[in-house]
Amino acid sequence: MGKIFVAKLYKNKKNYENKHLTVCGWIKFLRNSKKIGFISLDDGTYIKPLQVIFLNSLKNFQDISNLNIGSAVCVYGKFILTPNAKQPFEIKAEKINIIGKTPSDYILQKKKHSMEFLRTIIHLRPRTFTFAAINRIRSRAAFALQKFLQDNDFFYIHSPIITTNDCEGAGETFTVTTMNLSNPPKTNTGIIDYEKDFFLKHTMLTVSGQLQAECMASALSRVYTFGPTFRAENSNTQRHAAEFWMLEPEIAFSDLSDTINISSSLIKSAIDYVLKTSISDFEFLSETYDKNLINKLENTVKNEFEIISYTEAVNILIKSKVKFEYEIKWGNDLQTEHERYLTEKIFKKPIFVVDYPKNIKAFYMRENKDNKTVAATDMLFPGIGEILGGSQREERLDVLKDRMQKFKLKEEKYQWYLDLRRYGTMKHSGFGLGFERFIMYLTSMTNIRDVLPFPRTVKNADF
Ligand code: 4AD
Ligand code: MG
């Protein structure tokens, strides 16, 4: 047999019983006596390492015994089931090739490091059990979300990363330019002249692929875009990153209730898939960080999400008489503390809040008949707060133009977006799932910096 991954051995050990095979990986732990040695070999494919036994009959026995934690080796030997031992199987080495040595001052020794410390070595932390597990779950979750969408007739489209619009209108964009910043060209009135820039106009990193997804949904019916999005938000919190991934489905011929149904089915199906495919990682995270993790996820799959209106939410919060840091009154946006109170103290499960005041939401959201609210929803999760934001889009040309005026958006810049309402306009809706916030929920990590392999947050970007 050729090279086998450790995960395969755990998945189907009977298949490999008494076979000769090769496993390559890094030494997690090594101990030896004069005659015999043991290696815990980790190739990152599974939460548990593979036990390797090596005897002094190997001609490089002494060299192997001298290896430090972190060294890379390839082991060839016989795979044996060990039903009476602590580990279910082991490999009896007949040959061990030393591929890459590690000196003894290697930082990741067999001891627990704090999450704060590990954030200072983000290039090495994927080698720890915790971060390997998080990144495996991240990969499977990205797949599971897309599997659900593909199974439900959504096409994966790619919205651009460089854009000319600030979709959410929050003014939190990163400018993309090739101009000489120490001496940029200026107009007669002294402001920076982007007409002399690379694209002959001001361009930014996208905050959301939604508007482009709307163009594509107006042609292909059901689409999603999934990619990095960027926000120059100056909020140094546990749940804000400057670069994060967003999954944005856009659904033609649909209204807000379709968005609610599809997004809750999507979340449930993805959690269910990841639980099934990564149960050993969840068991590890549950033992190490949150005893209730698996139970929490199973309940999320099983139970209906609650739906309440923004107005009801505000009333509940006022009635609670809790002293919140941010004032709670109709017309103000809900803050994380409010969102968490609703999900953790009142409903004890994920909820959708619908019909927000029109003045605190983006220009593209559809106005409700009450003239005060828009058909918007935020999905709120216990422990996190907002995880997803969506809405029915304003499909009526005149109402949309009106709203754009109120938001002081220049109509001439949005002719392409208005064309969607001019030619074959239809009811449509969509949403954006904050992928990292979803991974935080899946892993019970409390800091977004720990679910992004290379986090970019305010005042911090490494590599
Ligand atoms: O609520 P947001 O701003 O919605 C949009 O961008 C819409 N255009 C989406 C759509 O309808 N297609 O962002 C969507 C989600 C939020 O609910 C949150 O989970 C996440 O993106 N998010 C962030 N995640 C990490 N760091 C940040 N700075 C984030 N800002 C938003
Ligand atoms: Mg939002």
Model confidence pLDDT, tens digit, residues 101-119: 999 999 998 888 999 999 9
As a whole number of angstroms, the distance between CA 447 and CA 190 comes to: 43
Contact 54, 37 (CB under 8 A): yes
Radius of gyration, alpha carbons of the chain: 27
Work out the percent of the chain whose per-residue pLDDT is above 70: 100
Query: In this model, does residue 356 exceed pLDDT 90?
Result: yes
Contact 248, 432 (CB under 8 A): yes
Q: In this structure, which ligand is nearest to the CA of 170?
A: 1
As a whole number of angstroms, the distance between CA 76 and CA 401 comes to: 69
Contact 298, 268 (CB under 8 A): no
Query: In this model, does residue 312 exceed pLDDT 90?
Result: yes
Identify the H or E element spanning 23: strand 20-32
Joined together, the tokens standing for residue 22 give 């090769």
Query: In this model, does residue 171 exceed pLDDT 90?
Result: no
Atom of ligand 1 minimally distant from the CA of 391: 11
The best mutation among 207, 224, 238, 244 to test binding of ligand 1, ranked by most ligand atoms within 8 Å of the C-beta, falls on: 244
Indicate the pairing of strand 89-100 with strand 72-81.
Answer: antiparallel
Mapping DSSP to helix (H, G, I), strand (E, B) and coil, where does residue 110 land? coil
As a whole number of angstroms, the distance between CA 90 and CA 18 comes to: 10
Query: Angle, to 10 degrees, between the axis of helix 435-443 and the axis of helix 129-151?
Result: 120
Query: Which residues, chain by chain, have CB under 5 Å from ion ligand 2?
Result: 389
As a whole number of angstroms, the distance between CA 244 and CA 29 comes to: 35
Q: What is the pLDDT of residue 1?
A: 79
Query: In this model, does residue 169 exceed pLDDT 90?
Result: no
Q: How many CB atoms lie within 10 A of CB 33?
A: 9
Measured in angstroms, how far is the CA atom of residue 238 from the centroid of ligand 2? 16
Atom of ligand 1 minimally distant from the CA of 240: 26
Q: What is the pLDDT of residue 281?
A: 98
Taking residues 359-383, report their average pLDDT. 97
Taking residues 304-310, report their average pLDDT. 97
String of DSSP letters for 184-208: --B-TTSSB-GGGSTTSS-EEE-S-
Measured in angstroms, how far is the CA atom of residue 432 from the centroid of ligand 2? 8
Contact 353, 378 (CB under 8 A): yes
Q: Where are the alpha helices (DSSP H) in 335-430?
A: 336-340, 397-406, 415-422
Query: In this model, does residue 49 exceed pLDDT 90?
Result: yes
Q: 51-96: per-residue pLDDT in tens?
A: 999 999 999 999 999 999 999 999 999 999 999 999 999 999 999 9
Burial of 236 (0-12, 13-18, 19+ CB in 10 A): exposed
Measured in angstroms, how far is the CA atom of residue 208 from the centroid of ligand 1? 8
Taking residues 330-353, report their average pLDDT. 96
Measured in angstroms, how far is the CA atom of residue 371 from the centroid of ligand 1? 25
As a whole number of angstroms, the distance between CA 15 and CA 305 comes to: 42
Q: What is the mean pLDDT of the chain?
A: 97
Query: In this model, does residue 2 exceed pLDDT 90?
Result: no
Q: 416-448: per-residue pLDDT in tens?
A: 999 999 999 999 999 999 999 999 999 999 999
As a whole number of angstroms, the distance between CA 307 and CA 336 comes to: 18
Report the nearest-CA residue for atom 25 of ligand 1.
Answer: 240
- Residue partners of 202: CB distance under 8 A and separation at least 6: 164, 175, 194
Q: How far is CA 176 from the centre of its chain?
A: 24
As a whole number of angstroms, the distance between CA 400 and CA 402 comes to: 5
Ligand 1 environment, Cβ below 6 A: 167-168, 208, 210, 231, 233, 240-241, 244, 246, 248, 386-391, 430-432, 434, 436-437
Query: In this model, does residue 156 exceed pLDDT 90?
Result: yes
Q: What is the pLDDT of residue 54?
A: 98
Q: What angle do CA 360, 363, 364 make, to 5 degrees?
A: 125
Taking residues 294-314, report their average pLDDT. 97
Helix, strand, coil: what percent of the chain each, to 5?
35, 25, 40
Q: In this structure, which ligand is nearest to the CA of 458?
A: 1
Q: Is the dihedral of CA 103, 104, 109, 115 positive or negative?
A: negative
β-pair partners for 379 = 352, 388
As a whole number of angstroms, the distance between CA 62 and CA 64 comes to: 5
Query: In this model, does residue 178 exceed pLDDT 90?
Result: yes
Measured in angstroms, how far is the CA atom of residue 112 from the centroid of ligand 2? 36
Taking residues 174-179, report their average pLDDT. 97
Taking residues 20-34, report their average pLDDT. 97
Measured in angstroms, how far is the CA atom of residue 168 from the centroid of ligand 2? 9
Query: In this model, does residue 170 exceed pLDDT 90?
Result: no
Taking residues 403-418, report their average pLDDT. 95
Predicted confidence band of residue 121 (pLDDT cuts 50, 70, 90): very high
As a whole number of angstroms, the distance between CA 128 and CA 222 comes to: 39
Atom of ligand 1 minimally distant from the CA of 170: 3
Contact 22, 2 (CB under 8 A): yes
Q: What is the pLDDT of residue 111?
A: 85
- Residue partners of 163: CB distance under 8 A and separation at least 6: 203, 204, 205, 206, 212
Nearest to 119 by CA among 463, 407, 425, 455: 455
Of 125-134, 152-161, 217-226, 227-236, the range with the lowest mean pLDDT is 227-236
